[in-house]
Amino acid sequence: MTNSVGPGDACVGIDVSKVALDIAVWESDTCWHFPNDGLGIRALIGHLKRLSPRVVVIEASGGYEALAVAELAAAGLPVAVTNPKRVRDFARSTGQLAKTDKLDARVLAHFGYAVRPEVRPLRSDEETWLKALVTRRRQVIRMLTAEKNRKAISHSGVQDQIQQHIEGLDGELQSIEETIEQCIRQSPIWSHKQALLRTVPGMGPVTSATFVAELPELGVLNRQEIASLVGVAPVNHDSGKLRGKRRVCAGRGPVRRTLFMATLVAVRYNPVIRAHYESLLQRGKEKKVALTACMRKLLVILNAMIRDDQPWRLGAIPT
């Protein structure tokens, strides 16, 4: 292993925890350790600016990476945020089974060198805020469901406290939904995109807001790319004489779950999706397989509508 890497050639991996950043440079002995706070990140930026890396790979770490990603991208550094599962699979493929913070950083650097992950532009502050609102709404709904279930089986002596919490959560949910609507109305681009999505039968305000907030690539990527990004593109499991079932995997879980619920509504109220679903069932497809195919079809239609800036029209469905 060499001791240094020339400017512009380096692939950097950053392992993120709640309190610290561990940094490694592929094919170099260079390793750094900084606190995961403003001062530590600014010191890291100074080192990376001198190195001028080809790519800086950071694993999505449940939000602990957000500050570092934002600061590095704002400093003009090429940051790629990658799915942790891809990195774990890559580490296994190279025989790297041990895990420490330094080893994980080195694996990320090697991943950047071998895979060349795409560097995507950073979300704007408004996009980040809208996504946070949609995420918080989802969290509040989960808490409401849990509290209602608890109330049904709780002792009568604590049901009043649970009911008070439920009412507080109901108020918070209403406030969040109003803020989401206001946020979208303030952006001509978002409000126009949501208006297009709302022309689809069965597409409500929450579903359309989720697509606006969590799938900004809608209308930008082609049909194969958008299906793969969301996780509704079937993946082959064939090898030699073995022919396995095609399955969907990975992708953006929150978007895929929202798309699933939208598809359940569409197979009842959307004539195009309903006809596609019934056709698949008549051809002997399992209901789950047919629903997944309808999810992909609905997503492709939405993608084409945004791409072509066209509302839903039954006689002219874009694909």
pLDDT digits (tens, 9 = 90+) for 65-109: 888 888 888 788 899 888 888 888 898 888 887 788 889 999 999
Domain boundaries along the sequence of the chain: 11-115, 125-186, 188-319
Return the pLDDT at 243.
52
Segments of the chain with pLDDT less than 70: 1-8, 122, 234-251, 314-319
Give me the pLDDT at residue 74, please: 78
Which residue, 184, 189, 187, is CA-closest to 207?
A: 184
- Find the DSSP H helices in the chain: 38-51, 66-74, 84-93, 101-115, 125-153, 156-185, 188-198, 205-214, 223-230, 253-269, 271-282, 287-308
How would you classify the pairing of strands 79-82 and 55-59? parallel
Per-residue model confidence (pLDDT) at position 147: 95
pLDDT in the model for residue 8 = 59
What predicted TM-score, i.e. pTM, was given to this entire model? 0.65
Residues with Cβ within 8 Å of 30's Cβ and at least 6 positions away in sequence, in order, are: 4, 5, 23, 24
Contacts of 121 (CB under 8 A, 6+ apart): 73
pLDDT in tens, 217-236: 888 888 888 888 888 876 55
Chain centroid to Cα 78, Å, comes to 19
CATH topology of domain 11-115: Nucleotidyltransferase; domain 5 (3.30.420)
What are the structure tokens assigned to 180, written together?
């989401």
Q: Rounded distance, CA 134 to CA 176, Å?
A: 8
At 96 the pLDDT is 80
